[in-house]
Structure 1
Amino acid sequence: MPHEAGRPKRVGVLISGRGSNMMALVEAGIDVALVASDKPDAPGLAWARDRGLATFALSPKGIGKPAYEAALDTALRDAGVEVIALAGYMRLLSDAFVAAWRGRIVNIHPSLLPNYKGLDTHARAIDAGDAEAGCSVHIVTEELDAGEVLGQQAVPILPGDDADALAARVLIAEHALYPRVLAEFVRQ
């Protein structure tokens, strides 16, 4: 489907859990065409359905990654999705999937990239003695958490912080940063 000039691109949001970043995107007015999950019981799917959003859920267990990603790709395209927003989606996408959507997949990551790619970002920042942590919105590439950073928000690491306390404050920053950066990205 060709993109109409002046209209924000339609977004497909991929989640694996409660979908709090997806909720922030919807509540900020992002045009969400589809909420999809690799976990059919993800709580965020029920929230999306309750708001009249189209949903897609399929577990890759038993069918394999290629079949799962083919079904996901079809669902996204059938819904008219032009940009994919990963929002707590805890599955690595294959190089082939990323290549098919090149430059049109964004992710919110709970660190100030390029610091702390991957998991356990909050504990790693605290253990390193960093003064601040934060979150980054970036373009997804075949290399984990390595694409162009579109926006960041720093969060101070406070004395006595543990990973959970820091994670809670970073999540608040994510809910502010992701809608703002994605709204700008889909207008390009």
Structure 2
Amino acid sequence: MTKARAAVFASGAGSNFQAIMEADDLLCDVVLLICDKPGAAVIEKTEKFGVQAFIFNAKEYGSKTDYERVLLEKLREAGVTWLFLAGYMRIVGPTLLSEFPERIINIHPSLLPEFPGLDAIGQAYESAVDQTGVTVHYIDDGIDTGPIIAQEEVPVYPNDTKEQLTERIQQVEHKLYPRVIRQIMSRFMH
């Protein structure tokens, strides 16, 4: 049976991209990285894993629809049927949502619905909660509002620095995301 083909969307360092690529049998092939930040560290990681990268600058397009049409073309060319967002700092628009219904997955560094949007770790840290966590969810047309697939709690200790909390959250992300991807792919293989 042929494996599903997936693309990872990322904007930054790419630690979740790396965790996905290093995971044991994901039951899918990651064939493309989409990055909206020319010069992002994640781009260098694609060479190591032999994954094609498409890098774009949203400012060079008239609208989200314009650049998403280009992305859609690249995804179709690569035969991609699943999108995994891993630190992608743009809101996915209707062009991609309509093409990949219930096939766009995101990882978010909080226990949604708490702390949606940007800097979720900073929001949790500033609010002095005693726990936060990681959520993997499907994307819908809201911001971090799609159906939740899995969550894992991460404690916040009284003497934590934001950096220590970030590191603990990332350790959970790097295990949880590949595990969830594997579970979802296994459902589609039978």
Match of 2:8 among 8, 13, 19: 13
**Which is worse superposed, 58-67 or 146-155?**
58-67
Partner of 1:140: 139
**Which is worse superposed, 118-127 or 53-62?**
118-127
More helix, by proportion: 2
Q: Which runs of 5+ in 2 are unaligned?
A: none
Counterpart of 2:45 in structure 1: which amino acid? W
Q: Identical aligned pairs, as a percentage?
A: 38
Normalising by structure 1, report the TM-score.
0.91
Note the alpha carbon deviations across 1:64-105, whole angstroms, 9 max, x for none: 322211111111111111110000101111133212211000
**Which is worse superposed, 145-154 or 41-50?**
41-50
Note the alpha carbon deviations across 1:28-80, whole angstroms, 9 max, x for none: 14320111111222211111123211111111212232221111111111111
Counterpart of 1:10 in structure 2: which amino acid? R
**Which is worse superposed, 175-184 or 117-126?**
117-126
Partner of 1:117: 116
SS of the equivalent of 2:144 reads coil
Partner of 2:77: 78
Provide the C-alpha distance between the structure 1 equivalents of 2:140 and 2:66, rounded to a whole number of angstroms: 21
Q: Is the 8 A contact 1:25 1:179 kept in 2?
A: yes
Q: Which runs of 5+ in 1 are unaligned?
A: 1-5
Counterpart of 1:174 in structure 2: which amino acid? E
Q: Is the 8 A contact 1:35 1:56 kept in 2?
A: yes
Aligned residues: 183
Partner of 1:46: 44
Partner of 1:36: 34
Partner of 1:3: none
Provide the C-alpha distance between the structure 1 equivalents of 2:122 and 2:57, rounded to a whole number of angstroms: 30
Counterpart of 1:41 in structure 2: which amino acid? G
**Which is worse superposed, 81-90 or 63-72?**
63-72
SS of the equivalent of 2:154 reads strand
| RMSD across aligned positions (CA) | 1.5
Partner of 2:175: 176
**Which is worse superposed, 55-64 or 79-88?**
55-64
Shift of 1:122: 2.1
**1:41/1:127 Cα in 2 relative to 1: closer, same or farther (>3 Å)?**
closer
Counterpart of 1:27 in structure 2: which amino acid? E
Shift of 1:120: 2.4
